[in-house]
Structure 1
Amino acid sequence: MRSSAPMPGNPWPHDMSITVDDSPHILMELLWLREAYELQPEGDDLPPLLVDTPVAVPDPAVRAATRDEWGATWPRIWHAALAHAGRDQDPRLFDELRTTADGSPERAELLHRIVGPSWRDEFGDTAFDHGSFATWSQKGAEAHLAAMPARLEDQPERRDLPALIPAWRAGLTKIVTIPCAGEFTHRVGENALLTTSATRENSDSYRRALGTFA
Structure 2
Amino acid sequence: MNSEELPQSPWPQDMQINVEECWSPLTFLLFVRSAWHLDIDSVPRLDSEPDPGTSRRPADLDVDAAVQRWLAEWRRAWTHFDAADPAIHLPDEETRHLLDTLTDEQLWAATSTSTWPSDFWNSGIDDEAYGMWRTTMPAPLGALPENRVIPALVTAWQGGLTTIIQLPYLGFFAQRINREHLVVSRTTRNDPEMLAQALTLEA
Q: Give the TM-score of the pair, scaled to structure 2.
A: 0.71
Equivalent position of 1:135 in the other structure: 129
Match of 2:40 in 1: 41
Residues 1:117 and 2:115 are matched in the alignment: yes
Q: Contact 2:22/2:134 (CA < 8 Å) preserved in 1? A: no
Residues 33 and 50 of structure 1: CA distance in aligned 2, closer, same or farther (over 3 Å): farther
Residues 21, 167 of structure 2: 8 Å contact kept: yes
Answer whether contact 2:3 2:11 (CA < 8 A) is retained: no
Tell me which stretches of 4 or more aligned residues in structure 1 moved more than 4 Å: 85-88
Mapped contact 1:174–1:193 kept (Cα < 8 A): yes
Q: CA–CA distance in 1 between the matches of 2:57 and 2:137?
A: 30
Identity of matched residues, %: 28
Distance 1:86 1:50, change over 3 A: farther
**Cα 1:58/1:210, change in 2 over 3 Å:** same
Taking the aligned partners of 1:183 and 1:163, their CA distance within structure 2 comes to: 17
Q: 1:107 — aligned with what? A: none
Query: 1:8/1:28 Cα in 2 relative to 1: closer, same or farther (>3 Å)?
Result: closer
Extract unaligned runs of 5+ from structure 1.
89-111
Q: Distance in 2 between matches of 1:18 and 1:167?
A: 10
Per-residue CA deviations over 1:43-68 (Å, capped at 9, x if unaligned) read 4xx232252334384465343xx211
1:170 aligns with 2:168: no
Q: Calculate the TM-score normalised by the size of structure 1.
A: 0.68
Distance in structure 1 (CA, Å) of the matches to 2:30 and 2:193: 25
- Aligned to 1:175, the other structure's residue is in SS state strand
Aligned to 2:101: none
**1:74 counterpart residue number:** 70
Deviation of 1:163 (Å): 1.1
Which residue does 2:140 correspond to in 1? 148
Flag the 1:2–1:126 CA change in 2: closer, same or farther, 3 A.
closer
Q: 1:197 aligns with which of 186, 190, 198?
A: 186
Structure 2 residue aligned with 1:160: 149
Alpha-carbon offset, residue 86 of structure 1: 6.2
- Equivalent-residue separation in structure 1 for 2:79 and 2:27 (angstroms): 14
Partner SS state of residue 13, structure 1: coil
* Partner-residue secondary structure (3-state), 2:171: coil
- Secondary structure, counterpart of 1:183 in structure 2: coil
How many Å apart are 1:136 and its aligned residue?
3.0
CA distance in 2, matches of 1:157, 1:80: 28
Paired AA for residue 138 in structure 1: M
Matched residue, 2:170? 181
Partner of 2:27: 28
Aligned to 1:61: 59
